[in-house]
Structure 1
Amino acid sequence: MTALELTPAWDKVFPHSDKVEHSKITFHNRYGIELAADLYMPKHAPKNGRFKALAVAGPFGAVKEQASGLYAQTLAERGFLTIAFDPSFIGESGGSPRAVASPDINTEDFSAAVDYLSTRHDVDPDGIGIVGICGWGGLALNAAANDPRIKATVASTMYNMSRVTANGYFDAEDSPTQRNAKRAQLAKQRTEDYAKDDYARAGGVPAPEALPEDAPQFLKDYAAYYKTPRGYHARSVNSNDGWNATSALPFMNMPLLSYIDEIENPVLLIHGEKAHSLYFSKAAYDKLEHGVNPANKELMIIPGASHTDLYDNFKYIPFDAIEAFFDRNL
């Protein structure tokens, strides 16, 4: 594994809290990819010397200096040892080619974070939870279905990346004909990428001024986060030139959330009332409700909140409820 180059300076889109200690750490997944993370540690250790711990990732196309770091730092202020990590192939984490997303490898990234936390002397291995934001909310549920070491899961403003990739927004492209057209286009792109020995990018979030007036509000909301000082980061996939275009192929072919009805441990889904993506959490909750242990599953809908409000808006992110959820279940 190649040694990662980690930025020593504070370069988050949110201010540093003096209530926690911050450091950089690395860990590897079972594919041998080295991942980079920010570790946030409360200044006061618990009486037994072992913290309850959380691994945080997302949104899809973001880096740990954005929303996941904000969640991790805030939850560390509330007493949890937390890490916000860059998934494989993006940010400061390793993996080549760059800007690749994978339903398998990115699910594995969550379990690799649990590997790391489970082996720290100052963490209770039976007290580890995860938080996934946006697309990593769906990946968090996927990881929880596969890894019983994850004792509690929060998915905030969740996307099901398989569903939106295969079916389009609001399932408007849910037909074999439309999927086959996408497959043909992406297969052609694979040939071109191989011939050039390079990978075309899908394009990041457009700048606000590049959007037409009739653009959907959620696209305007993304632009207002990723392309302005509020959320822009130089290493963010969405803030710049986007994912490797052919990353869409495995999400179309290998659906996420197939076994979430078998999650035995607690799950809290959080979504904004006005979010265009609310249907993803509603569908996931319906499956959890009809699963093996529906009693410990909850869907919290935040009045008035949009999708991106749950990235960084303290007016809407229910940190009290998240803290209470993990206190109960870790």
Structure 2
Amino acid sequence: MTDSYTFELDENVDRTPVRFKNRYGIEIAADLYVPKNATGKRPTLAVSGPFGAVKEQSAGLYANEYARRGYVALAFDPSFTGESGGDVRDVASPDIYTEDFSAAVDFLGLQDIVDRERIGVQAICGLSGMALTATAADSRIKAVATASMYDMSRSMSRGYKDSYTPEQRQKVVDYLSRQRWIDAENGTFARGSHEVPFDADGNPAPIDRVLPETLPEGADPITSSFFDYYRTERGYHPRSINSNTVWTATTPMAFFAFPTVSNIDMLAPRPALLVAGADAHSRYYSEDVQALAPDNVELVIVPDADHVDLYDRKDRIPFDKLDEFFTKNLA
């Protein structure tokens, strides 16, 4: 790790911190990656994700690799997180997060080195649903790719593999609703897990960290893989929610109210490439989206890769395939 980045900047890439505002007036912090000595108008990508991560982690790694391959790439922190603006901190909104992608396109389209007609989006993990939603609503985005896609609205409101019963869903809604009274009375915002587990009695039992400070013996494989990235030198960052803390407790309410990926039929004619690990617990999200729009959504399954491998394992991330996809569709 150098200067709080979890990866080495390529010697043929320049990185510049930049700032711009979304249409809600929130200042977005980003890093602009440009090939050294680049000239002319370049194909360009806005990059963000995972949910609860920061631009110095996998988003920056992807942007760095794309710039090495000749793209202009912008890795940004979504509103309320990392170095971006927005108060309260560490709250998420499917609407505002979707807007952040379009705001990134606003910014990129004003740069002399960017070809406005060749702008795409790359999202990782939990920002993928918002990236697909943004692309369906913003025709300036000509192509979108995702890696280890999570649909955060579906995850929060329905549980893993839609495992919440109707009764459990209502219990989560009741918990979130009561929490709003508590926050209003206290004049502050409590913290709690964005994906709400249940206790032995069948009641919501939110936890106070995304990941434990230390990995317990016998931890399940999913927790272990996330821990290995966010809580170790491999991917730890002091501003990452996933590395250190947890979201505001009422964050899931907006994701119950506003499902992402619901307008996938509006994506065409813009193409999408979804990349998922063969062993990823999240693989079904990509498969289900591809099934909804098979004519313009391509699915690539990476052998011997789990969900987190596609954050930073460059020997498993299919960058050649991603490059081929964007070269063709940002022509």
With the length of structure 1 as denominator, give the TM-score of the two structures: 0.92
Is the contact made by 1:186 and 1:249 (CA closer than 8 Å) also made in structure 2?
yes
- 2:209 is aligned to 204
Select which of 3, 12, 15 maps to 1:10. 3
Is the contact made by 2:137 and 2:266 (CA closer than 8 Å) also made in structure 1?
no
- 1:30 is aligned to 23
Distance 1:78 1:163, change over 3 A: same
- What residue identity is the alignment partner of 1:161? M
Select which of 259, 263, 271 maps to 1:255. 259
| Residue 191 of structure 2 is aligned to residue 191 of structure 1 | no
Give unpaired runs (5+ residues) of structure 1. 1-8
- 2:69 is aligned to 78
Equivalent runs, 1:308-323 vs 2, <5 Å:
308-323=308-323
Select which of 233, 240, 244 maps to 2:244. 240
Give the match's secondary structure for 2:79: coil
| Residue 103 of structure 2 is aligned to residue 109 of structure 1 | no
Deviation at 1:151, TM superposition (A): 0.3
> In structure 1, how many angstroms separate the alpha carbons of the residues matched to 2:226 and 2:187?
31
Distance 1:165 1:72, change over 3 A: same
RMSD of aligned alpha carbons: 1.3
- What residue identity is the alignment partner of 2:12? K
- Please give the per-residue CA displacement for 1:122-148, whole angstroms capped at 9, x wherever unaligned: 110000000110011111111111111
- Please give the per-residue CA displacement for 1:133-189, whole angstroms capped at 9, x wherever unaligned: 00111111111111111001001100011111111111111x331111001111111
> In structure 1, how many angstroms separate the alpha carbons of the residues matched to 2:129 and 2:224?
23
> In structure 2, how many angstroms separate the alpha carbons of the residues matched to 1:323 and 1:240?
33
- What residue identity is the alignment partner of 1:70? L
- Please give the per-residue CA displacement for 1:259-293, whole angstroms capped at 9, x wherever unaligned: 1122121100000000000000000101111xxxx
| Residue 34 of structure 2 is aligned to residue 41 of structure 1 | yes
Select which of 261, 273, 277 maps to 1:272. 277
Select which of 127, 134, 159 maps to 2:125. 134
With the length of structure 2 as denominator, give the TM-score of the two structures: 0.92
- What residue identity is the alignment partner of 2:63? A
Select which of 13, 18, 26 maps to 1:20. 13
Distance 1:204 1:67, change over 3 A: farther
Deviation at 1:212, TM superposition (A): 4.6
- What residue identity is the alignment partner of 2:228? A
Is the contact made by 1:208 and 1:220 (CA closer than 8 Å) also made in structure 2?
no
- 2:307 is aligned to 307
Equivalent runs, 1:223-234 vs 2, <5 Å:
223-234=227-238
Deviation at 1:208, TM superposition (A): 6.8
> In structure 1, how many angstroms separate the alpha carbons of the residues matched to 2:120 and 2:30?
16
> In structure 1, how many angstroms separate the alpha carbons of the residues matched to 2:100 and 2:21?
8
- 2:195 is aligned to none
Give the match's secondary structure for 1:274: coil
Distance 1:24 1:129, change over 3 A: same
- 1:157 is aligned to 148
> In structure 1, how many angstroms separate the alpha carbons of the residues matched to 2:186 and 2:8?
42
Is the contact made by 2:215 and 2:227 (CA closer than 8 Å) also made in structure 1?
no
- What residue identity is the alignment partner of 2:65? T
Give the match's secondary structure for 1:10: coil
- Please give the per-residue CA displacement for 1:33-54, whole angstroms capped at 9, x wherever unaligned: 00000111001324xx111110
Give unpaired runs (5+ residues) of structure 2. 193-207
Is the contact made by 1:205 and 1:222 (CA closer than 8 Å) also made in structure 2?
no
Give the match's secondary structure for 1:39: strand
Is the contact made by 1:205 and 1:227 (CA closer than 8 Å) also made in structure 2?
no
> In structure 2, how many angstroms separate the alpha carbons of the residues matched to 1:207 and 1:19?
38
Greater displacement, 279-288 / 185-194: 185-194
Is the contact made by 1:204 and 1:239 (CA closer than 8 Å) also made in structure 2?
no
- What residue identity is the alignment partner of 2:311? Y
- What residue identity is the alignment partner of 1:196? N
Aligned residues: 313
- 1:6 is aligned to none
> In structure 2, how many angstroms separate the alpha carbons of the residues matched to 1:80 and 1:28?
23
